[in-house]
Chains A and B, each alone.
Chain A
Amino acid sequence: MTTEGSAWRNEALGAVRPYALVCGRVTPTHELARHALLQASADPPAMLLQPHHAQVLDVCGQEGPRSVTEVAGRAGLPLQVVRILLSDLIDDGYVVYAMPVGIRNAECDVNILERVLAALHHI
């Protein structure tokens, strides 16, 4: 006898499904903060990508660097899934970081804040 709403029909599965795209992995190999900026490599390897990797790469590649958050939103995939896909793409050389090296704690750097302030007046 089968009943609707039995243990077989697990509602919670709906939230888990995207992780099938990343073979059930939950931990990305790169930390990839929400704000981290990435872009498609100018010199990518010539290998065929899985559809979801290709989709994420496509979102990274168009114009200028994009944040991990923006990539996730544009790809229409949950953030953590995108982190895993992006990690794969970084490891394989399709995607690179696009942030200046050596700038730390910019958010409380008086000089940077001053310049941001001046620039904001011109937008």
Chain B
Amino acid sequence: MRPYTTSDTDTAVLPLKVVISGGFGAGKTTFVGAVSEIPPVRTEEDLTQAGVGTDHLRGVEQKTATTVALDFGRITLPLPPIRVQLQLFGTPGQDRFWFMWDDLARGSIGAIVLADTRRLGDCFAAVEFYEQRGQPFIVAVNEFDGAHRYTEQQIRDAIQLSEHVPLISCDARLRASTRQVLITLVRHARERALAHASSAPTRESQEA
């Protein structure tokens, strides 16, 4: 944990991570693309670099499983005298990528779990992960055309979402809508931070 050094405070930018998680096809790439100030950048990572044990590689027949792609986007915000770079990491929602979730979650503001009502089960793993980690997260239902609309309570029941976790609907293609999702997450994270600051850490261990 060596502190970073910088050459010039005028150009210093504070990075803040936000994780966009969700099942395959839930709209992560679209979401990142809609709100990012740059077209999403796709990064490839080797599974091997995370020290995946041999038992994880055993039975993984297809070659595609050796790398995992991640979508990166960013939003630069002025916070005089510095700037903040809000970094959006769109990450695969399958739980076999748990090692990456852990690394991404560490030091992040929180996560947006994108849900598709046609495949709600795809977001279970992510919801469970962030719940257990005690990390701020929200669930955003991406309203696909033609998908059945459920009530908020129906969705909460279906994914067994605690009432403390914000649930909102969005259109991942629209900038205004994705911005609103980000605002909801940051507001939730701020409330959590406030509660944390004013209460003893014993509340942490409270079981859901």
- A: residues with CB less than 8 A from B are 11-12, 14-15, 26, 31, 33-37, 39, 41-42, 64-65, 67, 69-70, 72-74, 78-80, 96-103, 105-110, 112-117, 119-121, 123
Contact = CB atoms under 8 A, between A and B. Distances in A.
Interface stretch (B65-73, B115-123, B141-149, B156-164): B65-73
B4 A72 contact: no
Contact of A106 (B14, B70, B77, B104): B14
Interface of B: 2-9, 11-17, 38, 41-46, 48-49, 63, 66-67, 70, 72, 74-79, 82, 84-87, 89, 103-104, 107-110, 179, 182-183, 186-187, 189-190, 192-194, 196-197
23 contacts: A15-B63, A67-B87, A69-B72, A70-B74, A74-B41, A78-B46, A78-B49, A79-B44, A79-B45, A80-B45, A99-B12, A101-B4, A110-B193, A110-B194, A112-B14, A116-B77, A116-B79, A116-B84, A116-B109, A117-B183, A117-B187, A120-B86, A120-B186
B145 to A, nearest CB: 26
B186 A37 contact: no
Contacts of B44: 72, 78-79
Contacts of A14: 63
Contacts of A112: 14, 16, 79, 84
A37 B7 contact: no
**What are the 9 closest A-B residue pairs judged by CB atoms, nearest first?**
A73-B41, A119-B77, A113-B190, A100-B12, A73-B43, A35-B15, A80-B49, A15-B66, A96-B7
Contacts of B75: 120, 123
B21 to A, nearest CB: 15
B9 A100 contact: yes
Nearest to B196: A108
Contacts of B9: 100-101
A11 to B, nearest CB: 6
B48 A15 contact: yes
Most chain B CB within a 10 A radius of its CB, from A96, A108, A115 = A108
Contacts of B187: 117
B4 A99 contact: yes
Contacts of A123: 75, 77, 179
A37 B15 contact: yes
A97 to B, nearest CB: 5
Given A11-B63, A15-B66, A70-B38, 17 more contacts: A15-B46, A26-B49, A34-B17, A34-B89, A36-B4, A37-B15, A65-B11, A69-B72, A73-B72, A78-B44, A98-B6, A100-B6, A100-B82, A101-B9, A108-B192, A113-B190, A117-B190
Contact of A39 (B11, B43, B67, B196): B11
A66 B70 CA distance: 16
A83 B89 CA distance: 18
Contacts of B85: 37, 65, 67
Nearest to A72: B43
A67 B46 contact: no
